[in-house]
Amino acid sequence: MKHTQHHIQFKLNGNNTELAVHASDTLLTVLRDRLELKGTKPGCHEGECGACTVLIDGAPVNSCLYLAVNANGKEVTTIEGLQHADGKLDPVQESLVNNGAVQCGFCTSGMAMAIKGLVNEYEHKHQVPGTRKFENPSRDEIKKWLEGNLCRCTGYVKIIDAAETLFRD
Ligand code: FES
Ligand code: FES
Number of Cβ within 10 Å of residue 103's Cβ equals: 14
Q: State the sign of the Cα–Cα–Cα–Cα dihedral 138, 139, 144, 150.
A: positive
CA of 20 to the centre of ligand 2 (A): 34
Contact assessment for residue 152 and residue 111, using Cβ atoms and an 8 Å cutoff: no
State the sign of the Cα–Cα–Cα–Cα dihedral 64, 65, 71, 76: negative
> Which pLDDT band holds residue 2 (cuts at 50, 70, 90)?
low
Summarised one tens digit per residue, pLDDT across range 137-154 is 999 999 999 999 999 999
Q: Ligand 1: which of 31, 32, 62, 150 to mutate, most ligand atoms within 8 Å of CB?
A: 62
How far CA 7 is from CA of 21, 48, 55, 78, 129, in Å, comes to: 6, 29, 21, 21, 42
What is the pLDDT at residue 165?
Answer: 96
Kindly report, residue by residue over 73-117, the tens digit of the pLDDT: 999 999 999 999 899 999 999 999 999 999 999 999 999 999 999
**Which residue's CA is minimally distant from atom 3 of ligand 2?**
151
Where residue 168 falls among pLDDT bands split at 50, 70, 90? confident
- The SS3 assignment for 31 reads helix
pLDDT at 42 over 70: yes
Q: Is 70 exceeded by the pLDDT of residue 5?
A: yes
Residues at CB less than 6 angstroms from ligand 1: 42-45, 47-52, 62, 64
In angstroms, the Cα distances linking 135 to 41, 114, 119, 141, 148 are 31, 18, 11, 12, 23
> End-to-end alpha-carbon separation of the chain, Å?
57
Q: Which ligand is nearest to the CA of 103?
A: 2
Say how many residues make up the chain: 169
